[in-house]
């Protein structure tokens, strides 16, 4: 049996290297920048609700790149340990976790609207242009939803990175043994 392997391995190596080296400083930096940015908007009203949200994009891209790069490593590890590769299961689990996260985050935003007594229908162009027209409690609630809670969750997302050991010599050993296992089964992977 022969499997055709695209040149994704080198791309995965580059993403993997970025993840482990830069995830914590970049995630922490963007979280801090986000809190400072939104805090400035909160007190000054400058920027409205959409200004200066670049930290969200940087953090989201970083987490998504790391997550998808790590899935391939985990599938290799599972195949190395069990002798069976379940790529479909890995994709299905990733899809489920993504959908669950989206559902929970949307539910949480709605819950925060209820907690801070925000009437979405009352937000007019004047309020969007000058958030200081909203009550202090509503502004604090929105501030928490767009800065504090995402900053805390981004920091929590970096915790698994400290326990991710599919790197360096261990990973090379795993890949070498995995190649030998595949060869015994008559599976050849070509570039």
Tell me how far apart the alpha carbons of residues 109 and 6 are, in angstroms, rounded to a whole number. Answer: 40
Give all strands (DSSP E) within 93-181, no chain letters.
Answer: none
Per-residue pLDDT in tens (0 to 9) along the chain, 191 residues? 444 444 444 444 444 444 445 555 555 565 566 666 655 655 555 554 444 455 555 666 666 777 777 888 889 999 999 999 998 988 899 889 889 988 998 898 888 888 888 888 888 888 777 878 888 888 888 888 877 887 788 788 778 888 888 888 999 999 999 999 999 998 887 76
Longest alpha-carbon distance in the chain: 71
> What confidence score (pLDDT) does residue 17 get?
45
pTM of the model: 0.59
Tell me how far apart the alpha carbons of residues 38 and 89 are, in angstroms, rounded to a whole number. Answer: 39
| Tokens encoding 26 | 């970049």
Q: Are 122 and 134 in contact (CB under 8 A)?
A: no
């Amino acid at each position: 049996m022969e499997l055709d392997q695209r040149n994704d391995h080198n791309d995965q190596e580059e993403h993997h290297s970025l993840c482990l080296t830069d995830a914590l400083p970049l995630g922490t930096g963007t979280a801090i920048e986000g809190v400072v940015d939104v805090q400035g908007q909160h007190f000054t009203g400058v920027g409205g609700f959409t200004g200066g949200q670049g930290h969200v994009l940087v953090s989201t891209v970083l987490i998504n790149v790391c997550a998808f790069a790590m899935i391939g490593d985990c599938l290799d590890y599972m195949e190395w340990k069990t002798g069976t590769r379940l790529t479909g299961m890995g994709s299905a689990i990733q899809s489920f976790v993504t959908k669950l996260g989206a559902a929970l985050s949307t539910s949480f935003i709605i819950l925060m609207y209820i907690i801070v007594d925000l009437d979405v229908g009352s937000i007019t162009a004047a309020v969007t242009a000058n958030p200081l027209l909203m009550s202090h409690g509503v502004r604090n609630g929105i501030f928490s939803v767009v800065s504090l809670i995402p900053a805390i969750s981004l920091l929590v997302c970096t915790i698994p990175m400290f326990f991710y050991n599919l790197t360096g010599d261990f990973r090379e050993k795993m890949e070498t043994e995995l190649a030998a296992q595949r060869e015994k089964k008559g599976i050849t992977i070509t570039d």
